[in-house]
């Protein structure tokens, strides 16, 4: 599995990090990430999905309503969020890999977090996301347009299809500790 700590600690650049990844590796990395998320929730029960954890740092500036801005995220909320974000990166990367010029827009569909009530729904959402992300990789041509780039508004650097896909995995990785924390808090509350 990719370890993003070197990237976060600025020990390696995104470009150097992504140079280590070939298009064929994205399938393996996707499976490893989904497997890791499933492992984190393996012992969870239905009550854990809607359990509201303690999260004094909760801040969601993209929340649907003002009341949700500082609301702690439930396990179901995190699962639908990470899957939607990674799917968005995967589908934008597939377009770029096919040579389609990048246009800044969203390609996102997110199940509303309040619909996630059971652990089986969370597992099914993760498996559905795996299937969709892997399907997006099947759209890549044998010789992807890795020179098809856009300039990141944040860093000013060129982003290619591999980097675009990796952004989704990086975002997943950002939330692994949050998933673990929610699971641990829910388990403690049940005990």
Half-sphere exposure of 72 (CA within 13 A, CB side): 17
Over residues 3-16, the mean pLDDT reads: 83
Q: How confident is the model at residue 2 (pLDDT cuts 50, 70, 90)?
A: low
Q: What is the pLDDT of residue 123?
A: 98
For 56-69, the pLDDT digits (tens) are 878 777 777 888 88
Measured between alpha carbons, how far is 92 from 86 in angstroms, rounded to an integer?
A: 10
Residue of 158, 156, 146, 150 whose CA lies nearest to 15 = 158
Measured between alpha carbons, how far is 34 from 21 in angstroms, rounded to an integer?
A: 18
Structure tokens at 1: 């599995």
Q: What is the pLDDT of residue 187?
A: 96
Over residues 161-184, the mean pLDDT reads: 95
């Amino acid at each position: 599995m990719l370890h993003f700590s070197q990237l976060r600690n600025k020990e390696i650049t995104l470009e150097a990090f992504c140079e280590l990844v070939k298009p064929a590796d994205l399938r393996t990395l996707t499976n490893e990430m989904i497997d890791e998320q499933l492992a984190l929730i393996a012992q969870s029960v239905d009550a854990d999905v809607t359990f509201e954890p303690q999260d004094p740092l909760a801040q969601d500036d993209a929340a649907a309503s003002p009341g949700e801005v500082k609301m702690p995220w439930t396990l179901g909320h995190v699962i639908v969020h990470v899957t939607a974000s990674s799917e968005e990166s995967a589908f934008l990367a597939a377009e770029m890999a096919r040579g389609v010029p990048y246009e800044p827009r969203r390609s996102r569909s997110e199940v509303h977090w309040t619909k996630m009530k059971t652990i089986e729904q969370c597992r099914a959402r993760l498996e559905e996301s795996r299937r969709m992300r892997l399907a997006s990789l099947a759209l890549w041509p044998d010789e992807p347009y890795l020179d098809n780039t856009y300039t990141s508004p944040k860093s000013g650097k060129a982003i290619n299809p591999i980097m675009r896909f990796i952004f989704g995995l990086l975002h997943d990785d950002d939330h692994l500790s949050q998933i673990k924390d929610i699971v641990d808090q829910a388990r403690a509350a049940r005990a």
